[in-house]
Amino acid sequence: MKVEFYKHSLSQTDKENCLQVLDSLFLTTGKVVEEFERKFAKFLGVKYAIGTNSCTNSLIMALKCIGVKAGDEVITSPMSFVATSNAIEQVGAKPIFVDVSDETGIIKETEIEKAITPKTKAIIPVHLYGQMCDMKKVKEIADKHKLKIIEDACHCIEGKREGYGVGELGDFACFSFYATKNLTCGEGGCVVTNNLEYANWLKKARIHGINKNAFQRHDKNDYVHYEMEFLGFKFNMNNIQASLLINQIDNLLGNLQIREAICKVYDEAFDDHPLIAIPDVKKGSRHARHIYTIWVSPVYRDEFLTELKKAGIGCAVNYRAIHLMQYYAEKYGYDYDDFPIAEAIGDSTITLPLYPSLTDNEIKYVIQKVDEIAFRLAKKYE
Ligand SMILES: Cc1ncc(COP(=O)(O)O)c(C=O)c1O
In the chain, the domains with their CATH numbers are: 12-249 (3.40.640.10), 252-380 (3.90.1150.10)
Ligand 1 site, residue 58, Cβ cutoff 6 A: no
Which distant-in-sequence residues (6+ apart) come within 8 Å of 89 by Cβ?
95
Pocket residue to mutate for ligand 1, from 89, 176, 190, 236, most atoms within 8 A of Cβ: 176
Task: State the closest ligand 1 atom to the C-alpha of 128, by its place in the atom list counted from 1.
Answer: 1
- What does the pLDDT read at residue 221? 82
For residue 123, give the 3-state DSSP assignment.
strand
Ligand 1 site, residue 54, Cβ cutoff 6 A: yes
- What does the pLDDT read at residue 213? 84
Distance CA 228, CA 377 (A): 60
Cα of 56 vs centre of ligand 1, distance in Å, is 6
- What does the pLDDT read at residue 353? 98
Cα of 319 vs centre of ligand 1, distance in Å, is 12
Q: One digit per residue, pLDDT tens: the chain, 382 residues?
A: 999 999 999 999 999 999 999 999 999 999 999 999 999 999 999 999 999 999 999 999 999 999 999 999 999 999 999 999 999 999 999 999 999 999 999 999 999 999 999 999 999 999 999 999 999 999 999 999 999 999 999 999 999 999 999 999 999 999 999 999 999 999 999 999 999 999 999 999 999 999 988 888 887 788 889 999 999 999 999 999 999 999 999 999 999 999 999 999 999 999 999 999 999 999 999 999 999 999 999 999 999 999 999 999 999 999 999 999 999 999 999 999 999 999 999 999 999 999 999 999 999 999 999 999 999 999 999 8
First to last CA, the chain: 29
Its sign, for the CA torsion 54, 59, 65, 71, is negative
CA distances from residue 302 to 103, 207, 295 in whole angstroms, order as listed:
22, 42, 12
For residue 198, give the 3-state DSSP assignment.
helix
CA distances from residue 124 to 42, 67, 85, 138, 268 in whole angstroms, order as listed:
23, 15, 9, 10, 33
- What does the pLDDT read at residue 298? 98
- What does the pLDDT read at residue 192? 98
Distance CA 235, CA 52 (A): 5
